[in-house]
Chain A
Amino acid sequence: MAEVVFEKVRKTFGSTVAVNDLDLTIDEGEFVSLLGPSGCGKTTTLRMLAGLEEPSGGTIRIGDRVVNSVPPAKRDIAMVFQSYALYPHMTVGKNIAYPLKKRGIREPERSERVMATARLLELETLLDRKPAQLSGGQQQRVALGRAMVREPQVFLLDEPLSNLDARLRAHMRAELIELHRRIGRTMIYVTHDQLEAMTMSTRIAVMNAGVLQQFATPADIFHRPANVFVAGFIGSPAMSLVEGELVGSGGGDGERRFRVHCGALDVALPAGLLNRSAAPGPISLGIRPEDILLGSGHHTAAVGVVERTGHESIVRLDAQGTPLIVRTPGDTPIESGETVRFSLRVERLHIFDSTTGLRLNADTKDS
């Protein structure tokens, strides 16, 4: 069982708390992304799992073994570093062979396994070159090969694509997804790029300031973000967030009904949108760019900058002082400076408690 469990894991550096009471259970064979902005603790978490940092508190388990004090060499993990960390003085072949050498695997088995891995990653012709002679993409594949050749229980990847140009990154994303499908081992992936996380993961752990914000499937994270942070972090362009107030609106039919007054927006919420603990008070209203429909409706706004990407346009609106971002198909006739009418998909609105940041919608899952 290559399940990875973090139980109340803490890491402090002096007086800074890098990781705060992390509880996370990753099932065998999952592809989990640790996602968050710089400094959120994701890399520290990965390094603690690798054994390159020691937790200040809590337990880390791989399988059924507590690994807090186990040296990295004995954890049956492999890691791909952001800088690739290829050994500059060794050839590609020797780089890939190194983990096997350390495990005491001798010739000819060693060369066979190196060759097999090299073939898998299309590196056969490069085996005698030194890392400095390779391109970024090739170096990355060598780093992957070195990790794979040992067939470890868990793969750790620390922002492996961040040094590649955009096109190569897209290509490698697909390759990694395919790789995971093929070898089926647990992969834990650190990134600040939500696109990578969303497209590659079975589940995403969103972190901020050392605290786990939400651990859920990409779909859940996108459609049912647990709090304001996750909502604002995921989605590009970002969700529009407007401060305001939640008020009860009388309804004689026994159902609780609410309205929100947020900036210039005054909207009645559908029945059952909010969960049972929702009560009038200060809230943030979240609207995804694709949930604003232009052209008709009883809201109006002035059109600001319009970014046309061809297949869609990203439009910034100013609704009487309330800024909003809208995503609309590319052929929508819209120009800067115009006034436009718009409507909201009220069943897709997100409501967050201003004090706790938690989402108040009824379909919010527990992390």
Chain B
Amino acid sequence: MNASRARMIWSVVTWTIVLAVVFPLIWMIVTSVKPQSELFSIPPTLMPETITFEHYRRLLTDTPFLQYFRNSMILAVTTTVVVVVLGTLGAYSLVRFKYRGRETLATLVLFTYLMPSVVLVIPLYLMMAKLGLANTLASLVIAYTTFALPYALWLLRSFMSSIPVDLESAALVDGAGRMGAFVDVVLPQALPGIVSTALFTFILCWNEYLFALVLVNSDSVRPLTAGTMNMLITSFNIDWSLLMAASVMMSLPLIVIFTFLQGTLTKGFGAGAVKG
């Protein structure tokens, strides 16, 4: 079997599966632009006969969707900034410094991202209540930081340990202090990794559900995930068109990030996953 025939066969097989995997998402988009009448036709139509953006319009004007979107944005961006700053410094410390308890800390990092969120949510709920932060975005930022930070550290550690130590040594000899070497040499080199981690953290926060469900109970503070599910529960009839439109809009940041930065995003996984 020559090379181009093999390539064709592999392509057909692979793409069939890829399309099957992606189909639910395509169906989501298709459903969101179908008029209601067509939605409930039996048999269901594969391609929409008419395209309407009515559901999107309704979503943005008749529901708190925009508010949810804004909340999610603020939440995800704030948490990402906090996590990336703490994580970058922490990862650098773990990788380039020697002090007592460093190894124990590294193992503890491991333990944290294995904690079930359902176990964390109870004490966090109590803590927020006691601190008077119940039902605020701040409580979510704190909560999200606690579970996003271990992942960020995991990713950042593997990026940083791949930067040659000689570069920092050279900077030290050239006249920089440890932190000067960090800023001048390590940060620029780690930048792609830091961007990857930031994107990953953003997605993690954007998609989170349980903490948003438990720690917040008013629309003004609710992020998209809990908000959209709330729309589902509170309505009498399940408005699938609306929900599909909401799903598409909720996935927009993901699609944007993915289109432009897919390579950077997954690089850390491959490398970091095995080292753990």
Contacts and interface: CB of A to CB of B under 8 A. Distances in A.
Establish whether A and B are touching in the complex (CB under 8 Å). yes
B49 interface: no
Contacts of A150: 174-175
Most buried by A among B164, B173, B180, B185: B173
B169 A98 contact: no
Among B166, B175, B185, B188, which residue has the most Cβ atoms of chain A within 10 A? B175
Interface stretch (A4-12, A25-33, A69-77, A343-351): A69-77
Given A87-B185, A89-B189, A99 B174 contact: yes
Given A83-B164, A98-B174, A102-B175, A88 B189 contact: yes
B130 to A, nearest CB: 45
Given A87-B185, A98-B184, A102-B180, A71 B170 contact: no
Contacts of A99: 174-175
A198 to B, nearest CB: 27
A79 B173 contact: yes
A85 B175 contact: no
A78 interface: yes
A85 B172 contact: no
B167 A73 contact: no
A89 B171 CA distance: 13
Contacts of A146: 170, 174
Contacts of B169: 50, 52, 72, 79, 81, 85
Which residue, B170, B171, B176, B180, has most C-beta atoms of chain A within 10 A?
A: B170
A81 B169 CA distance: 9
A77 B172 CA distance: 11
B175 A73 contact: yes
A89 B188 contact: yes
Given A87-B185, A89-B188, A72 B167 contact: no
B174 A102 contact: yes
B177 interface: yes
A150 B176 CA distance: 14
A86 B177 CA distance: 17
Nearest to A98: B174
A312 B222 CA distance: 87
B164 A85 contact: yes
A188 to B, nearest CB: 13
Interface string A117-160: 00000000000000000000000000000100010000010000
B185 A52 contact: no
Contacts of A182: none
Nearest to B178: A71
Contact of B172 (A51, A82, A103): A51
Interface in B65-89: none
Interface string B177-196: 10010001100110000000
Contacts of B176: 73, 102
A113 to B, nearest CB: 14
Interface in A98-116: 98-99, 102-103
Given A79-B170, A87-B170, A89-B188, A71 B164 contact: no
A85 B186 CA distance: 12
A320 B175 CA distance: 62
Interface string B4-47: 00000000000000000000000000000000000000000000
Interface residues of B, number: 17
B167 A87 contact: yes
B98 to A, nearest CB: 11
Nearest to B167: A85
B92 to A, nearest CB: 17
Query: Chain B CB within 10 Å — which of A52, A73, A77, A79 has the most?
Result: A73
A108 B180 CA distance: 23
Contacts of A81: 166, 169-170
Nearest to B168: A85
Contact of B166 (A77, A83, A102, A103): A83
A66 B172 CA distance: 19
A85 B174 CA distance: 11
Contacts of B185: 87
A79 B170 CA distance: 7
Contacts of A82: 166
A146 B170 CA distance: 10
A69 to B, nearest CB: 14
A361 B169 CA distance: 44
Contacts of B164: 83, 85
**Which of A77, A102, A146, A150 lies at the interface centre, i.e. has the most chain B CB atoms within 10 A of its CB?**
A102
Q: Taking each of A82, A85, A89, A98, which has the highest tally of chain B beta carbons within 10 Å of its own beta carbon?
A: A85
Contacts of B180: 102
Contacts of B188: 87, 89
B219 to A, nearest CB: 46
Nearest to B163: A88
Contacts of A73: 172-177
B40 to A, nearest CB: 58
Interface of A: 50-52, 71-73, 77-79, 81-83, 85-89, 98-99, 102-103, 146, 150, 156
20 contacts: A50-B173, A52-B169, A72-B169, A72-B172, A73-B172, A73-B173, A73-B177, A78-B173, A78-B174, A79-B169, A79-B170, A81-B170, A85-B166, A85-B170, A86-B170, A87-B167, A99-B174, A102-B176, A146-B174, A150-B174
Interface of B: 164, 166-167, 169-177, 180, 184-185, 188-189
Which 6 A/B pairs are nearest by Cβ-Cβ distance? A102-B175, A85-B170, A85-B166, A99-B174, A89-B188, A72-B172
Given A88-B189, A89-B188, 8 more contacts: A71-B177, A72-B172, A73-B172, A73-B176, A81-B170, A85-B166, A89-B189, A99-B175
